[in-house]
Chains A and B, each alone.
Chain A
């Protein structure tokens, strides 16, 4: 599904290397988790995959089902099946949440040569999915993320993911800022999308999310590299001992 090879990334504006050769391979239907200290490059990895400006890829590649993502515009990556749930979802005053979602869904369908959804069809689907995430009708009408609580923003990200039905979902700290119930809700939303084909890359600091979204593999990122990979037990080790031991071991 997703193959990241020797990905090296710096900043466009200043001479600073952030990713120093990231290698990661995610197979169809797999769930991978990335953990790692603050500032290690986790969000940067997700942004570079999604196509955010301001980064310069100096080496490496990232392919989705064999297609080079790094050559595509962000909207093409989305249409190809990549989705990033943002660590900090952006507030967009004046753009209705519903209008935005419908435009996005139909733009992707159009890009893939599928028929656009009518307003009625769309409404039916979005209402059902919003309900299961306990997002009320009022939130759908409001401008994108404006005045949403931290938890509401994260649930809104999952709603978008559910509507867009991507192949590869990247979730950047979707658990941060969520209370226990909201986290269960979000995990339920994610698990509902697990169909044996769709793959997930879950960035998190905490084991507690991984109790609900069970990963097949766990990776530790430090200083712009993946320094250790393992099974779910690696997350438990981090939870109990922090990163010190792991970092010492690989140093």
Chain B
């Protein structure tokens, strides 16, 4: 189908807005290819099928609309965790605020340093997993990110890292428009945990490409900052080798527009992947979209998608989730659940669950529900003396808890629960 003129014009305007970054030939080639992809696809538009429930115009507008900074006395996330801390301010790596780029079991570089190295392992991954993920669904904002992002981390994990790497994104400028692109290669048998937190910028576009080799593990816990006006689009492209594990969890509270895409592909047998999200949205402006695409192309792999959204005062939650099981992917176990809890009649939850299965020996299930607080449960709790608002919070946390339970690290899971509880308590005013 020919791309419409407005989409082309949108792409040109947006592409012209970002300077072309410098890099070695391999990086230059990858970026040029991504730019060609972006220009041929055009900027995403709300008429696109994949953006049917989420209007991307705030993500494609030139220039970025300013977003007021969110100041809070709240402690930064994950500060209690023993980790290597890396800071990006409005999308720019801040060496002064960061720990040394040194983590036992891994080599960490900045993207700009890696792409200026003539011979680098990242050649095989940078822009490559993103490119693989462009089919069958176009992901123009990810292509644009590959083409123009000059910030990010390039991480080679060779052993079992004891400590997580925690990236904190600080939003400091009202009109900041940031792109970060991380590339992570986890060697066979190695293990790595990535923590991400913070709003990042007024507008934030992030891409994460992660290659999880045979028997390797990748754990990912992310919280998206509470800035009320931020706009965020993220893409995680994951490739899983044999018997590997990938677990990703995201907590989102507030923000205006958040679109989180996860694109996972099983290429080796007996691997496991989980993508989960707990989201709490308050207010008319809140729009949160989780879009997941899992491709099973190997035998006996298990994938889980668990998404929970609690919405109030006109907030909107979206889930688009697909499990594609190719003909040879026998014994696939695919699970998908998305649930919206609406605290009033003005809020919305829209879900598009999809299964596309070409193998005959698979167990796939999916479910999507939308509902209100259970009155019977609420009465039970209040009849024992728990004040109504507190009882409601308990039920909301219980609801979100099923997604939080997908994090297999108690310390991190408790941290997430505490944050959500504190956030809900503040709602009481």
Contact = CB atoms under 8 A, between A and B. Distances in A.
Interface of A: 50-53, 73-75, 77-79, 83-84, 86, 89-90, 92-95, 99-100, 103-105, 107-108, 111, 143-144, 160, 164
A20 B53 CA distance: 52
Given A52-B379, A74-B379, A94 B385 contact: no
- Among A78, A99, A160, A164, find the residue whose CB has the most chain B CB atoms closer than 10 A: A78
Contact of B382 (A75, A92, A143, A144): A75
B394 interface: yes
B383 interface: yes
Interface in B365-412: 374-377, 379-388, 390-391, 394-395, 397-399, 401-402
A94 B377 CA distance: 11
A103 B386 CA distance: 7
Nearest to B396: A94
B379 A92 contact: no
Interface of B: 374-377, 379-388, 390-391, 394-395, 397-399, 401-402
Contact of A50 (B381, B383, B390): B383
B385 A164 contact: yes
A78 B394 contact: no
Most chain A beta-carbon neighbours within 10 Å: one of B377, B384, B385, B395: B385
Given A78-B384, A92-B377, 14 more contacts: A74-B382, A74-B388, A75-B385, A90-B376, A90-B377, A92-B395, A95-B381, A95-B395, A100-B394, A103-B394, A104-B384, A107-B390, A108-B385, A111-B387
Contacts of B397: 94
B380 A111 contact: no
Q: Which 9 A-B pairs have the closest CB atoms?
A: A94-B398, A78-B385, A108-B385, A104-B384, A74-B382, A90-B380, A94-B401, A75-B382, A95-B398
A108 B387 CA distance: 9
Contacts of A104: 381, 384-386
A78 B399 contact: no
Contacts of B394: 95, 99-100, 103
27 contacts: A52-B383, A73-B382, A75-B383, A75-B385, A75-B387, A75-B388, A78-B382, A78-B384, A83-B384, A89-B380, A90-B376, A90-B377, A90-B380, A92-B381, A92-B395, A94-B401, A95-B395, A100-B381, A100-B394, A103-B390, A104-B385, A105-B385, A107-B387, A107-B390, A108-B385, A164-B384, A164-B385
Given A100-B394, A103-B394, A107-B390, A92 B380 contact: yes
B398 A75 contact: no
Nearest to B394: A95
B398 A93 contact: yes
Contact of B383 (A78, A111, A143, A144): A78
A42 B179 CA distance: 65
